[in-house]
Amino acid sequence: MPAPLSRYNKESWVIRFGSVQGQRMLILAALGPYSLFRVGASLLLHEEDASGKTIITGANVENAAYPVGTCAERVAMGTAIHAGHKLGSFKAIGVATDMTDYCSPCGMCRQFLREFLSLETPIFMFNKEGKFIVRTMGELLPLSFGPDVLPPKEELRKNLNKDQLEGAGVR
């Protein structure tokens, strides 16, 4: 069941968040040299971090070896994780393009984000006019696999004998 749009339209932080997305798009021109498809992503933190930031941004970073390029969502999340944020730090994520259509995170990004976002986290997809649609992490990646699905390491260890553990380099 999609999150009701009206709920988010009443939230002033969504407007500010959308405005940041728009500004971000203006400085992305050089970052999609091959596809010319410009994408910006912003992570909204629950609380201001040590450097006074409440939003961490990223843009797609392309590469002459095309498959090596990285999407905006993973750039933003990698930056956030490197800065010490983790599951529970994020209130929302926004993805913006300069297209009329809304753009949703690719499959790889959905899995990557799922590691660090709760399934209830809203994902805002902004178009070039700043309008958006919103879905939760769980809606974009249903029946997903994540860290909470893995049994505790001790449980896994019990299923392996000593030789297997040594063969796998586990001590």
Catalytic residue IDs: 73
Binding span for Zn ion by CB under 5 A among 21-29, 40-48, 68-76, 160-168: 68-76
Query: For Zn ion, which is the closer residue by CB, 41 or 134?
Result: 41
The answer to whether 119 touches 72, Cβ cutoff 8 Å, is no
Nearer to Zn ion, 103 or 133 (CB): 103
Does residue 59 have a known ligand-binding role? Answer: no
Which window, 66-74, 83-91, 126-134, 138-146, contacts Zn ion (CB under 5 A)? 66-74
Q: Is 25 in the site for Zn ion (CB under 5 A)?
A: no
Q: Which two tokens stand for residue 130?
A: 């700043």
Binding letters toward Zn ion, positions 90-109, x by CB under 5 A: ----------------x--x
Closer CB to Zn ion, 49 or 139, in the complex:
139
Tell me if 161 is assigned to a ligand binding site.
no
Is 71 a binder of Zn ion (CB under 5 A)?
yes
Report the interface residues with Zn ion, using CB under 5 A: 71, 106, 109
